[in-house]
Amino acid sequence: MRRLCWARKRLRNPARRPTHPGAVLREDVLPALAMTQTDFARRLGVSRLTVSDLLHEKRALSPEMAMRLARLLGTTPESWLNMQMALDLWEIEQNPEG
């Protein structure tokens, strides 16, 4: 257990909030694709509001959305879900009493 905690701290600064998957999409993916939110939503098969909420970090990334992103972008759903899980766990650790 001690080894696992040590490795976790080395991989990521525990004081820093992990990046929301929507921020990665907003800052890196959409500009690289030169794609609007509307085009992105259409290609994902979801509403523009759904994409907007994700990009503005108002909604968590669901497993279904992770799969849609993976198919569209040629990535894995696990990579997107790992980002969301890191953020979720960090937020729980910041307020352990709920």
Confidence (pLDDT) at 5: 52
Confidence (pLDDT) at 1: 47
- Give me the mean pLDDT over the 62-79 stretch: 98
Give the CATH H-level superfamily of domain 18-94: lambda repressor-like DNA-binding domains (1.10.260.40)
User: For 11-29, what is each residue's pLDDT tens digit?
Assistant: 678 789 999 999 999 999 9
Encoded tokens for 1:
């257990």
Dihedral sign for Cα atoms in the order 95, 96, 97, 98: positive
The domain ranges of the chain are: 18-94
State the Rg of the chain over Cα: 15
Distance, in Å, from the CA atom of 27 to the CA atom of 7, rounded to the nearest integer, reads 28
User: For 23-47, what is each residue's pLDDT tens digit?
Assistant: 999 999 999 999 999 999 999 999 9
Confidence (pLDDT) at 85: 98
Q: How confident is the model at residue 51 (pLDDT cuts 50, 70, 90)?
A: very high
User: For 79-96, what is each residue's pLDDT tens digit?
Assistant: 999 999 999 999 999 987
Q: What's the 3-state SS for the chain?
A: CHHHHHHHHHHCCCCCCCCCHHHHHHHHHHHHHCCCHHHHHHHHCCCHHHHHHHHCCCCCCCHHHHHHHHHHHCCCHHHHHHHHHHHHHHHHHHCCCC
Q: Is residue 59 a contact partner of residue 52, using CB atoms and an 8 Å limit?
A: no
Mean pLDDT, the chain, as a whole number?
90
